[in-house]
Amino acid sequence: MKYKIFVDGQFGTTGLKINEMLKNRSELELLTISEEDKKDIEIKKKFLNEADLVFLCLPDAASKESVALITNENTKVIDASTAHRTNPEWTYGIAELTITQRENIKNSKRVCVPGCHASGFIMAMKPLIENSIVSPKDKIVCHSITGYSGGGKGLIDAYEDSENEGKFISQRPYALGLSHKHLPEIKHVLGLKHAPFFTPSVGNFKQGMLVMSYLVKSEFLNKKITRKEVLSIYKDYYKDEQFVKIIEDDIAYLDDGFLDAMNCNNTNRIEISVYESEDYMLVISRLDNLGKGASGAAVQNMNIMLGLDEKLGLKI
């Protein structure tokens, strides 16, 4: 049996990547809409309802409009926008989130792909919250640096325009109103009282990211928890997860003391490493913002929803 797949928004960064990942898979038939027909509602509606599974790679409002066009009750949808990430009628697409989440995704017809920053933060904090190391009441500080592909076609064009050569060399913080669009899903999924104090930035590289969460030891149940204990919690929580790698030897992991944001590129892997001093602990998630942070996560969810091998088309 061939599954019919339609990528609505196939000309954007995430859509192009999904198409690239799926194009050689023999068990799938990709339905394609032409550039000139993509705004024709009737033509798009036909594709949306003909597909076994639809990827929505669109702005929020457009995603909601496409969902409203689907009348085929058998069509499954994976939305890569932020439109449905806090909607209880949609399943949050981190299969590793809880022991039951993979089954929830498998049985769902509506799944939302997490944000890239959100994926790194949530997967770092969920095991600590579940083990009462971090309280949902804690105020957590987080900083993230991502490749410029996270900003979509406009930012990619700006960085790669020869006229801008030498213009974007430094790390560039953004969302300085401290209300980044991934914060609602982070707060919702983790059940936090306060959204994290979060500052993202763009680096002068195309893809890859580091999500860095800063924790004060004295605030964890007033006890001096160690890096070794935290690593043990992560190893147990993610013990059967093929796309999650817990780093124990941090010296070998680093490159002369530096951590490269790009070493998970073109994989669906997330790596979690932990660093400490007497008073503080730093948890870093490394992932590909276009992989586990976007298109890779979308394909992983598709595999689960269609009952296929979860690893198909994905690199660990």
Residues identified as active-site: 116
In the chain, the amino acid numbered 66 is S
Residues 6+ apart with CB under 8 A from 295: 14, 17, 18, 21, 80
Q: Is 104 exposed, middle or buried, given 0-12, 13-18 or 19+ CB atoms closer than 10 A?
A: middle
Beta strands in 41-168 (DSSP E): 53-56, 76-79, 91-92, 110-112, 141-146
Give the whole-angstrom CA distance, residue 60 versus residue 102: 25
In the chain, the amino acid numbered 272 is I
CA 286 to chain centre: 11
Give the up-direction half-sphere exposure of residue 72: CA atoms within 13 A in the CB hemisphere: 15
Give the whole-angstrom CA distance, residue 315 versus residue 309: 13
Give the whole-angstrom CA distance, residue 133 versus residue 127: 9
Token reading at 168:
């974007």
Give the whole-angstrom CA distance, residue 70 versus residue 137: 40
Token reading at 198:
């979060």
Question: Do 180 and 118 contact (CB within 8 A), yes or no?
Answer: no
